[in-house]
Structure 1
Amino acid sequence: MLHRIWLAFILSAFIATLWQVFFNDHIGSFKDVMDAVYSMAKLSVDISIGLIGVLAFWLGIFQVAERSGLVAKLSIVLEPLLCRLMPEIPKGHPAIGSITMNISANVLGLDNAATPFGIKAMQDMQSLNTSKASLTNAQIIFLVMNTSSVTLFPIAVFLYRAEQGAVNPTDVFIPILLSTFASTMVGLLVTSWVQKINLFNRVIFLYAAAVISILAAVIIYFSSLTAQQMSTQSSIVANSLLLTFIVIVLSVGAFKKLNCYELFVEGAKKGFELAISLIPYLIAMLFAIGMLRASGLLDMLMGVVASGVNFIGIDNRFVDAIPNALMKPLSGSGARALMIETMQHHGADSFAGRLASVLQGSTETTFYILAVYLGAVGIKHSRYAVACCLAADLAGIITAIIVAYWFFG
């Protein structure tokens, strides 16, 4: 599935470039697209090199945590739920612990910790994989949870809105949480339907009720804070939890008379090797995305959407933020740039500016995550993972548009 989408990106970008040259007289389009290819190739290496330190550090800490038995204890929190969503993972398997750590980091918005934990989870699940070239059902549902994960503190969006002069930068907080929650729920529902997982289970229902309660409590508390207060408090909570975790891991390891230094170095070596191995997968995906952007295809799609909406005769204010929705699954930096450009052009407190902000926080960069996580375990066949992840993205986009009209219409 993924290789077909990859080829479709490249061929579509090539056709769009030909259109620009022969019908729009943009002679420089070929150069623009090739410049984008070279730029994305360089960016792929920069990303991988940038990941070396982060991966090495967290995989080193995780090695100590795993050997000390802490990860196994932490996995107790989510084990009943994960064993029902991912029945092929046995109880007590190391994958449960690494998945728990990844989900926790994602919820807190800690991308620098979530990615190493996510890669570790994919590797742990790969040890159970009987067909090493294809994703397992558990890996697919894990990927869906990552590409649509609920982040309680979308601080970056608030800070960008503040920089662009928004009167109340956090007024998109509740719409973002509603959108990302809808994205996650739809992703899980679609994947569970494909995998024939029974979601009408007492344990799953209790976990869902707990998540909704926590989400409601967070909304009630943080919606009354300013952007600066929210940034400060969420930063304190997230970073204090991370630092406490590191200290506890090393302390428990020392108490159990483990050689924490040697274990840390052993895990860090894996992080270095892993970061380098990701480069080919990132180049393959990012250069195709760069071609799409440079060819003008996304602008063409926006024009088609605008024409269709005008023809139907419905409120078309959401069209100005559609480029952000189309870009987010492809490129996080590209979507961020489009969000800022939308706020600069229309105003941070305009409908388009607010909707672009909600879209930015509602989903993750699907194809980047797929490239990194599949590359980390050398998987070539994604099966139906892309379709399920994109279904979650679509749900997040539609919900973002609906709640934007509800809150700001």
Structure 2
Amino acid sequence: MVLNAIWAAFILVGFVVALIKLFQGDVTIFTKILTGLFDTAKTGFDISLGLVGVMSLWLGIMKIGERAGLITLFARALDPLFRRIFPDIPRGHPASGSMVMNFSANMLGLDNAATPLGLKAMRELQEINPDKEVASNPMIMFLVLNTAGVTLIPTSVIAIRQSMAASQGLTNFNAADIFLPTLIATFVSFCAALIVVARLQRIPLLNAPMAAFFLGFGGLMAGLYAWLAGLPAAEVARTIGLIGSLVIVGVIALFVAVGVLRRVNVYEAFVDGAKDGFQVAVTIIPYLIAILVAISVFRTTGGMDYLVGAVGSVVGALGFNTDWVAALPVGLMRPLSGSGARGLMVDVMTTYGVNSFQGTLACIIQGSTETTFYVLAVYFGSVNIRNTRYALACGLFADFVALVAAIAVAYAFFH
């Protein structure tokens, strides 16, 4: 199992690096590792515990939508497309509706809403999984596309850039100028993930629904860019924030309204769905803590720093431009830890400046890649899947494509 090998490698490589540092005179290294382990374990528990409320909310809302028939309606609307991508899912199955809602939330950058919806989709996919301990083809496709999911607007990254620009005394700074490059990078990653998984699962992609999807999404990108391109950064952030909030609250109101019209006891349905929130959150605790503590050891010992330094030396020796290497830690950390990558992004902008090439590239990388290890650990852990097959390899491939695409578009737009 790939995840098992990588998990062990993080800890063992980190231990070896720590021994080397100890012999070099760093007598505090193992204390730092131990502190990091305890802090990370607590963080993993806090994340899972904090997810209880959000999980209960969204599972309750989704139960209303399910009893009102709206989840089935969503699934039918996208049935022509989903039948091509997920041929093993029965037509009209509620998992299709949950996946649609999850993808929609991810596109709007609404992580808190996307996670509960994704966990619900995994539970529904597990119901039709013939081997309950082995990841099914639909699960792998869903999670790989999730890790490579298209983000229309990196709202949080734009907000951080705007705040840091103000603290650095920059005026008339357009923090939203990373919007189009980020969108291009994440869309390229999504297409690459779809193609590689479809090839492994022998799914043909040359058909009318797929063509309509790509043409439609391309038109949406062009229209959105034309609408927002002339707005100030602060206005862009406010507009996108309004759109995201309106969509989420609108979905809740729609589900409740249709439930009432169809004489569904919406309160009872919400409570029934919310009861599962605690159980799901508790289930993911050991999986989340397992992956976070391994990452902590590798990061605390400096293994990540050695890796970046080696890459920079090789790139420089080959005669290539090394300006992008300073932002590489963000790309390497992003699949491992979202908060860790965010901290590294801020560090790059602090060191080189918000409006520097390195700072801008770090933001594009942060907005166009996903926390692959976190997603796989939490989502598969929520349904007790132990054999993830090639999901991790494909997810990391999508991250690599996103990283390369981010570097390419950053050079095209800003270098």
**TM-score normalized by the length of structure 2:** 0.96
Amino acid in the other structure paired with 1:66 = E
Deviates more, 1:211-220 or 1:297-306: 211-220
Q: What CA distance in whole angstroms lies between the structure 2 residues aligned with 1:78 and 1:29?
A: 53
Q: What CA distance in whole angstroms lies between the structure 2 residues aligned with 1:244 and 1:408?
A: 37
Q: Is the 8 A contact 2:44 2:289 kept in 1?
A: yes
Amino acid in the other structure paired with 2:209 = V
Q: Is the 8 A contact 1:175 1:403 kept in 2?
A: yes
Structure 2 residue 117 is the aligned partner of structure 1 residue 111: no
Which residue of structure 2 aligns with residue 121 of structure 1?
A: 121
Structure 2 residue 264 is the aligned partner of structure 1 residue 258: yes
SS of the residue aligned with 2:249?
Answer: helix
Match of 2:285 among 259, 276, 279: 279
Deviations 1:318-374 (A, max 9, x none): 011011111000000000010011001100011100000100001111111111101
Which residue of structure 1 aligns with residue 155 of structure 2?
A: 155
Amino acid in the other structure paired with 2:44 = S
Structure 1 residue 82: Cα displacement: 1.1
Structure 1 residue 294: Cα displacement: 0.3
Q: What CA distance in whole angstroms lies between the structure 2 residues aligned with 1:404 and 1:258?
A: 51
Q: What CA distance in whole angstroms lies between the structure 2 residues aligned with 1:39 and 1:266?
A: 34
Which residue of structure 2 aligns with residue 243 of structure 1?
A: 249
Deviates more, 1:6-15 or 1:142-151: 6-15
Amino acid in the other structure paired with 1:302 = V
Which residue of structure 2 aligns with residue 72 of structure 1?
A: 72
Which residue of structure 1 aligns with residue 303 of structure 2?
A: 297
Deviations 1:101-154 (A, max 9, x none): 111111111111111110111111111101100111110010011111111121
Structure 2 residue 202 is the aligned partner of structure 1 residue 201: no
Deviations 1:249-302 (A, max 9, x none): 112212222221111111111011111111111111100011111010000001
Gap regions ≥5 residues in structure 1: none
Q: Is the 8 A contact 2:75 2:93 kept in 1?
A: no
Match of 1:405 among 405, 408, 411: 411
The aligned runs of 1:4-403 (5 Å cut-off) are 4-22=5-23, 24-165=24-165, 167-403=173-409
RMSD: 1.1
Amino acid in the other structure paired with 2:321 = D
% identity of equivalent residues: 43
Q: Is the 8 A contact 2:135 2:385 kept in 1?
A: yes
Structure 1 residue 406: Cα displacement: 0.8
Q: Is the 8 A contact 1:41 1:287 kept in 2?
A: yes
Runs of 4+ off more than 3 Å: none
Q: What CA distance in whole angstroms lies between the structure 2 residues aligned with 1:209 and 1:354?
A: 29
Q: What CA distance in whole angstroms lies between the structure 1 residues aligned with 2:68 and 2:229?
A: 39
Q: What CA distance in whole angstroms lies between the structure 1 residues aligned with 2:81 and 2:17?
A: 46
Amino acid in the other structure paired with 2:226 = I
Q: What CA distance in whole angstroms lies between the structure 2 residues aligned with 1:134 and 1:347?
A: 46
Structure 1 residue 99: Cα displacement: 0.8
Structure 1 residue 76: Cα displacement: 2.5
Q: What CA distance in whole angstroms lies between the structure 1 residues aligned with 2:369 and 2:181?
A: 12
Deviates more, 1:300-309 or 1:255-264: 255-264
Q: What CA distance in whole angstroms lies between the structure 2 residues aligned with 1:162 and 1:110?
A: 19
Deviates more, 1:216-225 or 1:106-115: 216-225
Q: What CA distance in whole angstroms lies between the structure 1 residues aligned with 2:344 and 2:289?
A: 22
What number of residue pairs does the alignment pair up? 408
Amino acid in the other structure paired with 1:13 = G
Deviations 1:26-85 (A, max 9, x none): 221111111111111000111011101100000001001001101111223322111111
Deviations 1:196-231 (A, max 9, x none): 111112221111111111122112222222221111
Amino acid in the other structure paired with 2:360 = R
Q: What CA distance in whole angstroms lies between the structure 2 residues aligned with 1:301 and 1:70?
A: 49
Deviations 1:302-328 (A, max 9, x none): 110111011111111001101111100
Q: What CA distance in whole angstroms lies between the structure 1 residues aligned with 2:42 and 2:134?
A: 28
Q: Is the 8 A contact 1:173 1:223 kept in 2?
A: no
Q: What CA distance in whole angstroms lies between the structure 1 residues aligned with 2:28 and 2:139?
A: 43
Q: Is the 8 A contact 1:174 1:223 kept in 2?
A: no
Q: What CA distance in whole angstroms lies between the structure 2 residues aligned with 1:243 and 1:25?
A: 56
